[in-house]
Amino acid sequence: MKKFVIALFFFISTISAHEFDFSDLVKEQSDSVVNIQATRKISSSTRSFGNFPEELFREWGIPFPPFPEQSMPDREAISTGSGFVLSEDGYILTNFHVVQGAQEVIVRFLDRREFKAEIIGTDELSDIALLKISSKNFIPVKIGDSDKMEQGDGVIAIGSPYNFDFSVTFGIISATGRGSRTGEGIGNYVPYIQTDAAVNRGNSGGPLFNLEGEVIGINSQIYSRSGGNEGLAFAIPMNVAMEVVEQLKESGIVSRGYLGVQGGEVSSDLAEALGMNKPIGALVRAVVKGEAADSGGIKPGDVIVELDGNEIVYFHDLQHTVGRIKPGKTVRVKIFRDGKYVTQTIKIGVLPMTQTEVKPVDTKTETTYPLGLMLGELSDERTRSSTEEGVRVLQVMPNSPAYGVIFRGDIITKIKSGNTSFDINSIQDFESSLESFDTGDIILIIGTREGANIFEPVEVE
């Protein structure tokens, strides 16, 4: 009996070891997963009086003599990430945030081959960048169907965490259809795949494989209090990514569907009050005048439960679904209104956004953004009333004072420091107000984020 138990133990161990042996799968990807190195040039300037820097005068409260700023040599900032070969003719896929603002991008293979890459197009909302390297006969990855992946399926992440090239980790799909919690609005248009596979800094842009060796996601974000892996990583579904890639190849920009509603979740109490059998759907709180929902007869108080044949369980399901529909398509929308279900026919609109053409950056004429914020006038937005005040944040530059504090989509209405305050009605107001503060001063940026008030302190650089 003892011998039988021992034999059974070894038999089970052998099966388990074989079941979790991914060595062949990993070897097949060695020529397809790459390291991405992005170089940015950062201009800097300083003021000094003799050998005494301006900071010394400010520290002791002494007025600084009126001397002009001295130009300093540009410094290089290098960031690294991961990516993978998409086609034999050299298309490479990675994250937008890996190459954002880069003057030079180098793609490195495991066998030490290096190629300078061209940025074909980027899409900030999906965090995707399409690169191209000038050579042929590359070995592309196999593309899988991310819509078929289910909670509990096994996955493998390959990338360059902390520049440790071609590192492999294993995990499962913890959840699908996740929204982003970064506050940048990216999750509104990407139904993330959540995984517990170890993902760290440098894994960004790398592939997430299923156990058949097919890429079903692009590693993009982690949720961490320590800055490292805590078992909460998020990947862009490959089906979403390929829709973006197709548009970037065709035109270099991405168009998304837009409904034009603001809303939230349906709680159990609200469902009971509305007469619904269960809490499901996306509650419409406001409708943007003149947009698709308004033209299609959607009203505040409606609950959208189905759109284009897709069930809407949560509000982010509505955002994810609409964002993937091509503008101009007519769809059927099932809503709950006044105690009964009704169906409306709606022509999907175009998501209003600012697109920037990808061009090599001329460092001599490079635009400088105050506090690292690219701003837009509210008066330029056709969906907003001209009576509304403030400026909208279009982009936040990495490593800037506002990065991680102010987010894309925020509306800034006032800047305050102590008893000094400035109303912000235009970009010129914003830039002029900053001239009243010195480097190192802490200012309070006041505005709104998705309808909620914000009060964010930012240090003037």
Per residue, what are the HEC states of 307-328?
ECCEECCCHHHHHHHHHCCCCC
List the chain residues with pLDDT less than 70: 1-20, 43-74, 180-187, 353-368, 379-388, 398, 418-419
State residue 419's pLDDT score: 64
The phi and psi torsions of 364 (rounded to 5 degrees) equal -75, -30
State residue 71's pLDDT score: 57
- Active-site residue identified among 32, 79, 82, 97: 97
State residue 222's pLDDT score: 85
The phi and psi torsions of 162 (rounded to 5 degrees) equal 50, 35
Are 255 and 205 in contact, with CB atoms under 8 Å apart? no
* Dist CA 418 CA 407 (whole Å): 24
Residue 185: closest CA among 323, 378, 377, 371: 323
User: Which 3 state secondary structure label does DSSP give 250?
Assistant: helix
Q: How many other CB atoms are found less than 10 A from the CB of residue 73? A: 8
Residue 38: closest CA among 135, 103, 83, 84: 103
* Dist CA 97 CA 223 (whole Å): 16
Q: How many other CB atoms are found less than 10 A from the CB of residue 222? A: 19
What tokens appear for 59 in the block? Answer: 């520290």
- Sort 122 into a burial class: Cβ within 10 Å, 0-12 / 13-18 / 19+: buried
pTM to 2 decimals?
Answer: 0.67
* Dist CA 120 CA 343 (whole Å): 41
Intervals of CATH 2.30.42.10 along the chain: 257-350, 370-459
- Active-site residue identified among 79, 126, 127, 294: 127
Residue 235: closest CA among 105, 99, 94: 94
* In this structure, CATH architecture of domain 257-350: Roll (2.30)
Are 297 and 391 in contact, with CB atoms under 8 Å apart? no
Q: Say what the alpha-carbon torsion angle 433, 438, 442, 445 is, to the nearest 10 degrees.
A: 10
What tokens appear for 396 in the block? Answer: 């936040």
Residue 123: closest CA among 159, 80, 94, 166: 94
End-to-end distance of the chain based on CA atoms, in angstroms? 76
Is 97 in the active site?
A: yes
370-459: which CATH number, 2.40.50.140, 2.30.42.10, 3.40.630.30, 3.40.50.10860?
2.30.42.10
State residue 187's pLDDT score: 42
State residue 81's pLDDT score: 94
State residue 75's pLDDT score: 74
For the domain covering 142-250, report its CATH number: 2.40.10.10
State residue 19's pLDDT score: 62
What tokens appear for 141 in the block? Answer: 């990855």
Intervals of CATH 2.40.10.10 along the chain: 33-133, 142-250
For the domain covering 33-133, report its CATH number: 2.40.10.10
Q: How many other CB atoms are found less than 10 A from the CB of residue 196? A: 17
Count of CA atoms in the C-beta half-sphere (13 A) of 388 = 16
Are 418 and 445 in contact, with CB atoms under 8 Å apart? no
State residue 184's pLDDT score: 43
* Dist CA 348 CA 355 (whole Å): 19
State residue 296's pLDDT score: 93
* Dist CA 442 CA 434 (whole Å): 11
Q: How many other CB atoms are found less than 10 A from the CB of residue 266? A: 24
State residue 122's pLDDT score: 92
- Active-site residue identified among 82, 160, 174, 204: 204
Q: 315-343 as b/e, with b when 16 or more CB fall inside 10 Å?
A: bbbbbbbbbbbeeeeebebbbbbeeeeee
- Sort 170 into a burial class: Cβ within 10 Å, 0-12 / 13-18 / 19+: middle
State residue 54's pLDDT score: 53
